Amino acid sequence: MILNLDEVCRKNRWRTCLHDFAQTTQHKWVTSKKAVSKVIDDTTKRKFRTRDVNTGYCRLTPCNKRKHTRRSTVLHTAPAIDYEEVEHGKTTTQTTFYDLKVDKQHQLYRSYYELVMYVPWQNTPDDTFLSADVQDILENPQRHLEIDSRHSLQRLEQFFKVYRIYYDEGSVATWHCMAQR
């Protein structure tokens, strides 16, 4: 059975969390034209092949049995719920993610990772977990200093606030969750 992304969404597979989706869905790149191999050197038989990403698509199919996915090593840190939020000017002078101690960075990233991996979301995690007001702040370059950085203190702290709500409800970081093992 071959599914495209629309069919996957229609069959409610998107209602699962990213971790379950990754374990139960496999992908295969299908090309519409054959890649041309170029000889590197006449003395060897090795060839160099490039792939044009515009001439193919990814085919999603359900797995016959659940496959193992490797967790992030960030999960081997202190629990994310123990993170204490930064109050600029009061508790610390650090204003960027990379100014924090490594342990604090890992706790923040762990809260984001657990939220995205083990709680169902649609479109993007920002659309699902963050309010429109918070998204406006994070998209404004004058109010969000780390907008071009891979990790942003403001953004991850907003996700941590959502993580704390889900943690209090008991819907994330449960004892049977892979993140807590």
Question: Would you kindly state where each structural domain of the chain is located, as residue ranges?
Answer: 5-62, 73-180
Tell me the two tokens of residue 42.
């006449």
φ, ψ of residue 139 to 5 degrees: the values are -90, -10
Give residue-wise pLDDT tens across range 83-137: 888 766 555 565 788 888 888 888 998 889 888 888 888 888 889 899 999 999 8
Report d(CA 114, CA 20) in Å as an integer: 13
**pLDDT for residue 162:** 94
Tell me the two tokens of residue 91.
């508790």
> What is the average pLDDT across 42-66?
77
**pLDDT for residue 3:** 46
Band (pLDDT 50/70/90 cuts) for residue 142 is confident
Give residue-wise pLDDT tens across range 147-168: 888 888 889 999 999 999 999 9
| pTM given for the model | 0.70
**pLDDT for residue 152:** 87
Give residue-wise pLDDT tens across range 5-31: 555 555 555 567 888 888 888 888 887
Other CB atoms within a 10 A radius of the CB of residue 104 amount to 20
**pLDDT for residue 177:** 54
Instruction: Give helix then strand counts, H and E, for the chain.
Output: 6, 4
φ, ψ of residue 34 to 5 degrees: the values are -75, 140
Q: For residues 12 and 56, which has the higher predicted lDDT (pLDDT)?
A: 56
